[in-house]
Structure formats: structure tokens, C-alpha cells
Amino acid sequence: MNQTIENLEFDALLYEFKRVLRENKLKYTKQREVILETLYHGTCHYTPEQLYLKMKDKYPELNVGIATVYRTLNLLEESELATSISFGSQGKKFELANKPHHDHLICKSCGKIVEFTDNSIEKKQLSIAKENGFVLTGHLMQLYGLCKDCNTDKI
């Protein structure tokens, strides 16, 4: 992940997004800004459809199209301003990359995502990389299983 993106305030993030748009010869639009703003203020990982419906409800006057949401999310991910978790045929869920590093627990039944950090895991990853002659430039850990709500008979 691009370390200069972490923990930016929204104005700085918007400035970076406008730079990415210029580099890709794309126009800045209020619709694109609202996509970024919705992700920034969001407390969950959004599918493109969830983001579209949230924006349509909150900003009906903007007339945002689902194709704009998909294209903007792809641009944000390609420019490392956003990250995604793939759910196979169910698609991706997105979040901005401005959060401090964290890993994910993902429920295979309901799709619930729990973010967590664990310094001992981070140290072990560095140790494993060093033992194998690697210099880590980033990583993504996703642990799959069943959340406590979906696994009630096994807990």
C-alpha cells in the first residue's frame, strides 16, 4: 500500500484523487467526489451495488449511474486509493486505503467482515519473509470461516 495515502484527511485524499483523474485524462465530477466521500465516511466494506444505492438515496439530485460507481471504484483500486476483498461470483467489497493496516476475518455464509490487527502476526510475517530472503512491500491477510451468528451450533 502507498504509505503516503494512509491517514489523509478528506481534502488531501480528494486532492490525490483529482491528480489520479488528471493523469488518466478523466474529468472530475461531483458524482466521483461523492463516491470517494461516501467511502471515506463509511463504516463498512461496500459492494458497488450497496454504494450505488446509498448514494442514490442520499444524493438523488446527482443522478449517479451504476457504471460510474464501478468505473470509479476500479480507478480508486488501480491507483491504490482503495482496496477490495473478492467474494468470487458475488463480486468485490471496497474500502479506502487510508486506514491503518489491518487484516480481515470473512464469514463464508453471510459475508460479514471483521477487521483486526495483531502485532504478533505482523512480526511473524516479517520473520518468515526474512528467512526466505524477501523484503515485504505489503500484504493482505484474509481468514475465512463462519461468524458466531452463522455458526451457532458449533460454538
Annotated binding site for Zn(2+): 107, 110, 147, 150
Q: Is the dihedral of CA 7, 11, 15, 18 positive or negative?
A: positive
Q: How much of the chain is helix, strand and coil, in % rounded to 5?
A: 45, 15, 40
CA-CA-CA-CA torsion for 19, 24, 27, 32, nearest 10 degrees? -70
Annotated binding site for Fe cation: 101, 103, 122, 139
Annotated binding site: 101, 103, 107, 110, 122, 139, 147, 150
